[in-house]
Chains A and B, each alone.
Chain A
């Protein structure tokens, strides 16, 4: 099964509201990354958080990482219609397969 699992699978909110997506994983990681994908297009890297970091900010994005719970969250504040996309977490496991492992994603819809 996938290393990272996002929750919820789909989220629909009003423009201006905050959106929170969660990611859980199973094994120890080097880092965790969040990517955005607009429908049918390539993934865009949003933020990378290392295993020794707890929180990171980039513009309207805030990512937290709790390695004891093996979970991460992505918060998008003051959402805009352009934030409508799928959001994926990707984990870089320390052991095992030498690859980024992507979750199934959260589909975020921002309603005007």
Chain B
């Protein structure tokens, strides 16, 4: 158990809908990273937050947004969902703000868009 929690574990929704994925980092970690894992694209970095501020941005679509709250938990919002958004979504955390640090991954949220 990494200490990173993610909810929900599974999510099934329809095209055009909006969902919110939640992540709680390990105690004391200030950075949260979001990743998307699909069979064809592999593990893709989406975005990093550090202590409430956006630190780095990856291949995140405009339909996706994220934020980190004062208690350091983070939410990833996915809107206008398409079939291709079906994937595993992971969050990871690390103590500092440096992307070179070891990252601790949560168990993931499996999103299925029908």
A residues with CB within 8 A of B: 2, 30-31, 33, 35, 40-45, 48, 88, 92, 97-105
B42 engages A2 (CB within 8 Å): yes
A41 near B107 (CB under 8 angstroms)? yes
* Residues B110 and A40 in contact, CB atoms below 8 Å apart: yes
For the complex of A and B, 9 pairs with smallest distance between CB atoms: A42-B105, A92-B100, A102-B43, A43-B105, A99-B45, A98-B56, A30-B100, A42-B107, A104-B42
Interface string of B82-107 (1 = CB under 8 A from A): 00000010101000000110111111
Are B108 and A41 in touch, CB under 8 angstroms? yes
Cβ distance B54 to chain A, nearest Cβ, rounded Å = 12
Known A-B contacts A41-B108, A44-B2, A99-B48; A105 and B42 likewise in contact (beta carbons under 8 Å): yes
Distance in angstroms between the alpha carbons of A4 and B109 in the assembled complex: 25
- List chain A residues, Cβ under 8 A from B102: 33, 45, 48
| Subset of 7 A-B contacts with CB under 8 Å | A35-B105, A42-B106, A43-B90, A45-B104, A92-B100, A98-B48, A100-B99
Contacts of B103 in A (CB 8 A): 45, 100
Residues on the A chain within 8 Å of B88, using CB: 40
B16 within 8 A of A: no
Residues of B within 8 A of A103 (CB): 42
Residue of B with least CB distance to A102: B43
Given contacts A42-B107, A98-B56, 5 further A-B contacts (CB under 8 A): A35-B105, A42-B106, A43-B105, A92-B99, A97-B56
Residues of B within 8 A of A98 (CB): 48, 55-56, 99
